[in-house]
Structure 1
Amino acid sequence: MAPVVARLVSESKPYLVTGKLLVKELWFEVPLDHSDPKPETIKLFARSAVKYERPIVEPSEAIQRPYLLFLQGGPGLGTPAPQDSPLSKYMLDRGYELLFLDQRGTGFSAPISDNTLQRIGGPQEQADYLKLFRADTLVKDSEAVRLCLTKDYPPEKKKWSTFGQSFGGFTTLTYLSFAPEGLRECFITGGLAPLDKGPEETYQATFQRCIDRNHDYYRKFPQDVATVKSIAEKIRELGGEKGVPLPAGGFLTVARLMTVGLQFGAHGGVDRVHNYIIRMKADLDQYGVFTRYTLNMLEQENIWDTAPIYTLLHEPCWCYGPGVAGRWAAERVGASLEEFQWLRKDWAGPASLGEKPLYFSGEMTYPFYLDTCSGLFKLKETAQILAEFDGWAPLYDAEQLGKNEVPVYAAIYNDMYVDPEMSRNTASRIKGIKIFETNVLYHSALRTNPDEVIPQLLRLRDDTID
C-alpha cells in the first residue's frame, strides 16, 4: 500500500511570539485508520516555529529549513506551545524548523474525553476506536504529515529529525522500526522502552524504583511516616468505602491519595508531595475535615481523567505485540509487594502497618481510577475491554533496530518511570546509538534541567568517537 499523505487543511499567517519566534498554526487531515484510508478522517493540529530574523533584504523565495518533530510524552498529553519548549532555545539556532504536532487524541487533535467517546458508540466501539491511538498509528500520522510538508522539498531535505521525550521516545523506537526512511536523526530523553518486556515485567522493575523514591521521601521527611497514616485513617473515617467527595465529582480514597507519588519521578516531586501532606494535616488540625481548596488541588493534580488516554492506554503502550495484554498488571504486581498492601482487597488499613510507612505509588494505572475519577466513570467497560485485549500490532522490530542506520542520541536518567537497566538493554540492541547517562537527573529533566540535557545530546551529535 502506498504511504498516505496528509492533506493540509489550513495554514495560518506567521505571527511573532516573544520577539524571537515566528509561529504558524497548521491543520492536517489524516485517515482515522491508515489501513483503510478512505472512509473516516480526523484532524491533527500543529504549530511550527522558526527563529525570527529580519534580514536587510527579504529572500525572494521561501526558505526550506529541515524539520525537527517533537514527540511528546504521555501517552495522552498534548505538545507545549513553541515558546514554552526548551527546544526553541537550542534547536532553532541549529537551523531547524520545529514542528509541535499534537498527537491524535491530545491537545487540539481530535481530543479524547469521556464525552467525546460517547459519540463513538458503546464500550466495544470506543475500545476499537482507541486501539487506533497507540504509537504504531502515531508514526503513520507523523509520516503522513512529513510527506505533506516536504512534498516540494529536494530529496536531501525530505527527511526530518525527531526529538522524543518519554513516551515520545517509545514512539521514536516504533518510527525507527517501521519507517526509518523518513528519519534523518533522532534524539530521545527518558524514553528507551523495553523491546520485549510486557507490562508485568516492566512494573516489577518500576515498582522497585518507586520503593527507592519512597525511601528518599521518608528519609527527608521522617515525621510524615505517622502523618500520612493518620491522614489515611481520616480519609477512611470521613469517606467510608466510597471515599471523600471531590469538587469535580470524584472521590478521594487512600489508594487515590497514594498515587500522588507520581510526582516522585520528577525534580522537586518529593517536596511537592510533602506540601500536600502539610496542607492536609493543617486542614485536619484546624477543622477536622479537608478544605475545598485542598480537595480541589488534589483532584487537579492528577491526569487520570483529564487525559484519559493516559489511563486507558498506559498499560497497552507496554504491550509490545500480539499475545500481550495488560490485564491491570500494575495492580497485580503492586498487590504482591508488602510495601503496597493498600492495593489488596483485604487490606486492614493503616493501623495494620505498625511502624512501617505507607508507600506512595508511581506511574502506574489501576482499575480503581474508574470508580474515583469522575471523567472515567462512564468508561469502565471500555477500559476493561482494552485491558483484556491481546491482539495488538507489533510496536518494535528488533531486527531492524539491530541494523539501524539512523543516528540516535539518547539520555538515560535516574528514572522512576522508565527503568534504566531496561533502557541500557534496549540501547545495546540499537545499532549506532550514542548514550548520555546520569544518576543525578530525573525523568522531567528536559523540562526542569534542559541546560544539562540538550547540550549533552548535541555533543553526542557533533563529536566523534576517539
Structure 2
Amino acid sequence: MGATPALVTASHRVDGHDVHEHVLTVPLDRTGAEPGAVEVFAREYVRTGRADRPRLVFFQGGPGNPAPRPDVVGGWLDRALEEFRVVLLDQRGTGRSTPLDAQSLGEVGDAAAQARHLAHFRADGIVADAEALRRALQGEEPWWVLGQSYGGFAITCYLSQAPHGLAGALVTAGLPGLRTSADEVYRATYASTARRNREFFARYPRDEAVARAVAAHLDGQEELLPTGERLSSRRFRTLGTALGQTSGFDALHFALEDPFTTVRGERRLRRRFLTEAGRRLSFEAHPLYAVLHESIYAQGPATGGATRWSAHRVRAEFPEFSLDAGPGAPFRFTAEHVYPWQFEEDPALVPLRGAAELLAAREDLPALYDPEVLAANTVPVAAAVYVEDVFVPYAFSRDTARAVRGARTFVTNEYHHDGLRLDGRRLLDVLLELVRR
C-alpha cells in the first residue's frame, strides 16, 4: 500500500483559540483488497494557554454528516475547551474528508464498484482513520472521545477494535445494540415514532387533519419542490424526523400551520410550504446518510446478514403507518427511516439507487462490535441515555451499557435525541463527573 504521507496542518486564530486544520491521507481499504486512498480532515481548537491539555475527539451523528462548523464557541464545545484540546473530525466521506456524493461516486465505477467502495465508510473505517490521526498527532498516547448519536456507535466500535487508543469515552444518545438486527431496531423505532405522533397531535389537534389534507392533495395534484421533482404523499410523511428532537414539535407545527392557498380558483400548496418541505426532505446536502443508514445496523450473520430495506419491510407490521389508510384512520409521520422509493424520487439519490440496492443485499458486512472485548473493557466510559429517544431505542442502550465493563450511565427523560445540542455544557459536566468517580 505504500507509506502514508505525513500530516499536513494549517493554523489560524479565532476568538482566543488556535485552530489547526489537519489533513492526513489514509488507505481506502486497510486490507489492501480495494485500491485507493482517502483524505481525513479534522479541525482542532486549542484555547489560549491550554496547549498542554489532552485531546478530545468529537464524533458527529449521522451517518454521513460532517463535524460541526461552529460560528461561535459555545455549549458543549466551550465546556470541553476548559480542559481539552478539541478535535472535530470529519468522518470519512463527509465534509473535507474526501466527501462522497453522486458526483464523486460516479467516478468510482458502476453500481457494483460503488457498493464495494461504500462498504469501507462504516464505523470500522472511521475508527481506523481516527487511529491513524491519533498516531500522527501524538504517537501512542491515547486520547479522549465524545460521540453523539451515530458518533456513539463509532465509539462503541472504537472500544471494540482499538481500546488502546482511548483514555476515556463519553457518549450521548448513542449506545447501539451489540447484536440487534436492523429489523429489531426498526420495530422499536416505529413504536416510539407512533408514540411521538400521538403526543404531537395531542398537543396540536388541528395538525392531523391538516397533514391528512396535504397528503390527499398530493395524491391528486402535482406539486413541485424547488429542486424540480414532484412531491409525493409518502415522501411528505417522512417529515416526522423532527419528532425526535426536543424542539421538533414546534418546528413541524409551524411547517403545517398554513400550507394551502388558492391560485385562479384552484387549491394549491404555498410556495413557502414547498420550499420548507424541500429543505427538510432533500438529501442533497448529505446523500451518504440515506445510502449508509441501514448498513450501520448490519452486524454480520449473527443478526441476519443483509438488511434488505428493513425499514420498508418492517413498516408493514405497523398498520397505523399504512399509506393506504382511509379517511378515518390515523395519520402518521415516519422518522429516521430510509425507503428504497426515495432513491426514485429524490434527485440527489437517483444516481445512487443501484449502489444502495446492492449494499442493502450484502450478507457479509462484518460485525462492528465485539461483546467479549467490551465485557473486559478497561477504558473509563460514561453515557447519557434518554428513555424517550425515538432514534436510539432505550432498551438496547441500557443492555449495551450493562455489557460494557465499567460503563456508567446518566439515564433521564429530560431530553430527546438532541440533548447535547440544547444542554451540552450540563451534559458534559455530568458525564465527566461520572467517568472520573
Aligning the two structures, in what range does the TM-score lie when normalised by the shorter sequence? over 0.9
In structure 2, relative to structure 1, the CA distance for the partners of 1:39 and 1:131 (3 Å cut) is: closer
- 8 Å contact 1:44–1:109 — kept in the other structure? yes
Deviation string 1:432-456 (CA, Å, 9 cap, x unpaired) is 0000011120101101122442221
SS in 1 for 2:82: helix
CA distance 1:181–1:122, shift in 2 (3 Å): same
Say if 2:8 and 2:22, in contact at 8 Å, map to a contact too. yes
Q: Which residue matches 2:404?
A: 430
SS of structure 1 residue aligned to 2:147: strand
Matched ranges for 1:260-409 at <5 A: 260-281=239-260, 288-302=267-281, 304-322=283-301, 323-342=304-323, 347=324, 352-354=326-328, 356-409=329-382
Q: In structure 2, what is the equivalent of residue 60 of structure 1?
A: none
**Identical amino acids, percent of aligned pairs:** 34
**Which deviations, in whole Å up to 9, do the C-alpha atoms of 1:357-409 show, x marking residues without a partner?**
21010111111211211111111111110111111111000000001000000
Partner of residue 141 from structure 1, selected from 105, 126, 129: 129
CA distance in 1: counterparts of 2:9 and 2:257, whole angstroms: 49
Deviations 1:288-335 (A, max 9, x none): 212333212211113534211111111110112245211111111112
1:170-195 Cα distance to aligned partner (Å, 9 max, x none):
01011000100100000000000000
**Contact (CA 8 Å) 1:284, 1:290: kept in 2 or not?**
no
Cα distance, 1:149–1:285 mapped onto 2, change above 3 Å: farther
**Which runs of 5 or more residues in structure 1 are unaligned?**
55-62
CA contact (8 A) 1:250 1:372 kept: yes
Amino acid at match of 1:193: P
> Could you give the per-residue CA deviations for residues 96-135 of structure 1, whole angstroms, max 9, x where no partner exists?
1111110111011111111111111110011010000000
Q: Does 1:80 align with 2:68?
A: yes
Letter of the structure 1 residue corresponding to residue 366 of structure 2: A
CA distance, structure 2, for counterparts of residue 180 and residue 284 of structure 1:
62
Q: Are the equivalent residues in 1 in contact too, given 2:80–2:428 (CA < 8 A)?
A: no
Q: Residues 76 and 310 of structure 1 are in contact (CA less than 8 Å); yes or no, is this contact kept in structure 2?
A: yes
Q: Which of 402, 412, 420 pairs up with 1:446?
A: 420
Please show how residues 10-159 of structure 1 align to structure 2 within 5 Å: 10-13=8-11, 15-17=12-14, 19-36=15-32, 39-53=35-49, 63-82=51-70, 83=72, 86-94=75-83, 96-151=84-139, 158-159=141-142
Q: SS of the counterpart of 1:50? A: strand
Measured after TM superposition, the shift of residue 206 of structure 1 is 0.8
Distance 1:38 1:290 in 2: 48
Quick one: structure 1 residues 460 and 280, their matched pair in 2 at CA, closer, same or farther if it must change by over 3 Å?
same
TM-score (norm 2): 0.94
Task: Tell me how far apart the structure 2 counterparts of residues 150 and 38 of structure 1 sit (CA, whole Å).
Answer: 28
Maintained 8 Å contact 1:8/1:26? no
Q: How far apart, in 2, do the equivalents of 1:449 and 1:303 lie?
A: 28
> Any conservation in 1 of the 2:157–2:368 contact (CA below 8 Å)?
yes
Cα deviation, residue 286, structure 1: 9.1
Q: Which residue of the partner structure matches residue 455 of structure 1? A: 429
1 CA distance for matches of 2:425 and 2:27? 39
Q: CA deviation at 1:282?
A: 5.3
**Residues 85 and 100 (structure 1), Cα distance of their counterparts in 2 relative to 1, 3 Å cut:** farther
Give how far 1:234 is off. 0.8
Structure 1 vs Structure 2 CA RMSD: 2.1
Asked whether the equivalents of residues 282 and 346 of structure 2 are also in contact (C-alpha less than 8 Å), the reply is no
Is this contact kept in 2: 1:5–1:145, CA < 8 A?
no
Q: Secondary structure at the match of 2:349?
A: helix
User: What is aligned with 1:59?
Assistant: none
- 1:30–1:141 Cα contact (<8 Å) kept: yes
Aligned residues: 433
Per the alignment, residue 207 of structure 1 pairs with: 190
| Residue in structure 2 matching 1:188, options 147, 162, 171 | 171
Query: What is the CA–CA distance in structure 2 between the aligned matches of 1:447 and 1:285, rounded to whole Å?
Result: 45
| 1:238-266 superposed Cα distances (whole Å, 9 cap, x missing partner) | 13xxxx32221333111111111001001
Q: Distance in 1 between matches of 2:23 and 2:293?
A: 27
Worse overlay, 132-141 or 292-301: 292-301
